[in-house]
Structure 1
Amino acid sequence: MKPLLTFLQKNNRIIFIILLLLTLIPGVSPAVALFAGLAFALTAGQPFPKFSKKCSKYLLQISVVGLGFGMNLHESLKAGKEGMMFTIISVAMVMILGFLIGRKLQVNKKTSYLISSGTAICGGSAIAAVAPVLKADSNQMSVALGTVFILNAIALFIFPPIGHWLEMTQEQFGMWAAIAIHDTSSVVGAGAAYGSKALEIATLVKLTRALWIIPMAIITTFLFKEKSGKISIPWFIFFFVLAMVANTYLNIPESISSSIVWIAKKGLTVTLFLIGAGLSQTVIKQVGIKPMVQGIILWICIAIMSLLVILYL
Structure 2
Amino acid sequence: MQLLPLQTLSPRLARRGIDVLPGVVLTATIAVASTGIGTLVPVLGSAVPAIIIGVVLSLLRGRMLRHREPDAADAPAGRWVRFDASLQPGITYSSKFLLQLAVVVLGAQLSLMSILQVGLESLPVMLSTLAVCLVAAWWLGKVMRIEGKLTTLIGVGTGICGASAIAAAAPVIGAVGAQITYAVSTIFLFNILAVVLFPLLGHALNLDPHTFGLLAGTAVNDTSSVVAAASVYSTAALGFAVVVKLVRTLMIIPISIGLSVIEARKDAAGQPLTGRRIAKLVPWFLIGFVIVAIVNSTGVIPEGPRNFLVHASVFLIAMALAGIGLSTDIPALRRAGLRPLALGAILWILVTATALATIAITAGLRG
**TM-score interval, smaller chain:** 0.7 to 0.9
Q: Which residue of 2 aligns with 1:165?
A: 204
Further displaced range: 37-46 or 241-250: 37-46
Amino acid at match of 2:291: L
- Specify the alignment match of 2:54 in structure 1: 37
CA positional deviation for 1:43: 4.5
What is the distance in 2 between the residues matched to 1:54 and 1:126? 19
Superposed, which structure 2 residues align to 1:137-286 within 5 Å? Answer: 137-225=176-264, 226-228=266-268, 232-249=281-298, 251-286=300-335
Deviations 1:104-159 (Å, cap 9, x if unpaired)?
11111111111111111111111111111122222221121111112112212221
CA distance, structure 2, for counterparts of residue 174 and residue 20 of structure 1: 30
Q: Normalization by structure 2: what TM-score? A: 0.75
Q: Which moved more, 1:231-240 or 1:221-230?
A: 221-230
1:124 paired residue number: 163
- Are the structure 2 counterparts of residues 24 and 123 from structure 1 closer, same or farther at C-alpha, using a change threshold of 3 Å? closer
CA contact (8 A) 2:106 2:310 kept: yes
2:267 partner amino acid: K
Q: Is the 8 A contact 1:131 1:141 kept in 2?
A: yes
**1:46-104 deviation digits (Å, cap 9, x = unpaired):** 94445423321001011111111221122123214222112112111111111111111
Are the structure 2 counterparts of residues 15 and 90 from structure 1 closer, same or farther at C-alpha, using a change threshold of 3 Å? closer
| Alignment RMSD | 2.4
State which drifts further: 277-286 or 251-260.
Answer: 277-286
The 3 A distance-change label for structure 1 pair 16 and 72 is closer
How far apart are the structure 2 equivalents of 1:109 and 1:16? 28
Quick one: which of 31, 44, 62 aligns to 2:101? 62
Residue of structure 2 equivalent to 1:6: none
1:133 and 1:232 in contact (8 A); partners too: no
User: Which piece of structure 1 moves more, 212-221 or 170-179?
Assistant: 170-179
Matched, 1:101 2:119: no
Could you tell me how far apart the structure 1 residues matched to 2:235 and 2:258 are?
36
Work out the CA distance in 2 between the residues paired with 1:155 and 1:262.
24
The question of whether the paired residues in 2 share the 8 Å contact of 1:155 and 1:181 is answered with: yes
Distance 1:190 1:115 in 2: 21
Q: Is the 8 A contact 1:94 1:120 kept in 2?
A: yes
Q: Provide the rounded CA distance (Å) in 1 between the counterparts of 2:344 and 2:204.
A: 25
Distance 2:213 2:202 in 1: 10
SS in structure 1 opposite 2:206? coil
C-alpha distance in 1, partners of 2:183/2:142? 15
Tell me the equivalent position of 1:10: none
Higher mean C-alpha displacement, 19-28 vs 300-309: 19-28
Give the Cα separation in 2 of the matches to 1:55 and 1:210: 22
Q: Deviations over 1:218-259 (max 9, x none)?
A: 111101115235764301100111111111115111111111
The corresponding residue for 2:20 is none
Q: Secondary structure at the match of 2:254?
A: helix
1:275 & 1:66 partners in 2: Cα distance?
Answer: 19
- Change in CA separation of 1:21 and 1:171 when aligned onto 2, cut-off 3 Å: closer
Percent identical among aligned pairs is 31
> Which of residues 130, 133, 145 is equivalent to 1:91?
130
CA gap of 1:203–1:24, structure 2 versus 1, over 3 A, is: closer
* Secondary structure, counterpart of 1:45 in structure 2: helix
3-state SS in 2 of match to 1:236: helix
TM-score by length of 1: 0.87
Q: Distance in 1 between matches of 2:26 and 2:128?
A: 46
Native 8 Å contact 2:179 2:333 kept in 1 = no
Does the 8 Å CA contact 1:24/1:270 hold for their aligned counterparts? Answer: no
Gaps of 5+ in 2: 1-24, 40-44, 64-83, 272-276
CA displacement 1:192-218 (0-9 Å, x = unmatched): 221122113312322221111111111
For the 8 Å contact 2:219–2:351, the answer to whether it is kept is: yes
Going from structure 1 to structure 2, the CA distance change for 1:21 and 1:249 (only over 3 Å counts) comes to: closer
Gaps of 5+ in 1: 1-13
2:141, 2:217 → 1: CA distance?
A: 24
C-alpha distance in 1, partners of 2:27/2:263?
Answer: 34
- Pairs aligned (count): 300
